[in-house]
Amino acid sequence: MDRAQDKPPPPAKPTVLVLGGSGFIGRHAVAALIAAGCPVIIGSRHPARIDGKLPGNATAAPRRQVHMEDLLDPDQWRDATDGVDVVLNCVGILRQRGRETYRRVHCEAVTALAETCRQRGLRLIHVSALGLQFPARSRFLRSKRDAEAALRASGADWHIVRPSLLDGDGGYGAKWIRRVARWPLLVLPADAIGRIAALDVGELGEALANLAMQPLPTNTDAAQREYDLGGPDQIGLADYIASIRRLHTPHPVRCLRIPGVLARLGSHVCDLLHWTPFSFGHWELLRNDNCPQHNRLPELLGRAPRPIGAPPVGAGLTATGPVAVAN
């Protein structure tokens, strides 16, 4: 008797709806899911216009039009979630535009989606942000925090993923940091004293795909449903930008610290003009650590994450060694 015929077939891979599937995080999650053999449906505001933003292995994936700001009732999510097993929400807005408000996109739509997932027995993986435990006045951060609270109370099979700062091709903030790292002078808020644990967006996409494919959890411990993710290094923003700079030049960057009140004023100007990724929410985040207390990225990857940037030059140098600071 052929023993191979007695083996049960491998479990079917889940069908995953990736909301924001053409965005910075979403497109990497889509690529990782397809590489793992998962059927993927891409949710996007403009599904007919995203070919140039998708990875090569995703151009044939089916798409659904999703306007988060308009899906504020559970019944409105039924068409979008039809025929899927897992919903991966990678949608986030840096700034508000018209009906696309922080409250609608980050919180109210997610609350309605969670109820639909509860009713249909779907897994919901929600990409949030680190640093929400600190007091914040930013509506961006408050909407993220309120969404997490709504998920915990939803009764759905929810999972919250909180990455630190992301590096990778195609990201608005990552592109700006890479550009700023080449400048001869770096201007930072004097109160930007928090550390970050930057990670590669491709590894985040892989971690999200692995989480989507995991068997259903056998426990309901809320702590096990929350994943703080970061890279291997926890350093200040100036040191991080210096590490990116060392990929291009051995010359150290000069850093000018400006008073926090001026930085805050500048963040409001950037929000008003929609100029640069710097925002009031980011100014608040930079004042505290943006690192995982317990980094679960190695758990989801099955290996250690790779470091970002180049290490300091010379033996025995600390993370701040190559950074020249002008007071």
Q: Tell me the whole-structure pTM to 2 decimals.
A: 0.91
Q: Is the pLDDT of residue 206 over 80?
A: yes
What's the pLDDT at 219? 57
For residues 198-209, give the mean pLDDT: 98
Mean pLDDT of the chain: 91
Indicate the pLDDT class of residue 216, thresholds 50, 70 and 90: low
Q: Is-contact 197 298, C-beta < 8 A?
A: no
For residues 164-179, give the mean pLDDT: 94
Look at residue 147 and give its three-state secondary structure. helix
What's the pLDDT at 3? 55
Of 319 and 34, more confident: 34
Residues in Cβ contact with 183 at an 8 Å cutoff, skipping those fewer than 6 apart: 253
Q: What is the amino acid identity at position 12?
A: A
Tokens of 95: 């700034």
Query: Considering the chain, what percentage of its residues have pLDDT values greater than 90?
Result: 86
Look at residue 282 and give its three-state secondary structure. helix
Q: Is the pLDDT of residue 183 over 90?
A: yes
pLDDT tens per residue, range 40-90: 999 999 999 999 999 998 999 999 999 999 999 999 999 999 999 999 999
Per the DSSP assignment, residues forming a β-bridge with 63 are 42
Q: What is the amino acid identity at position 248?
A: H
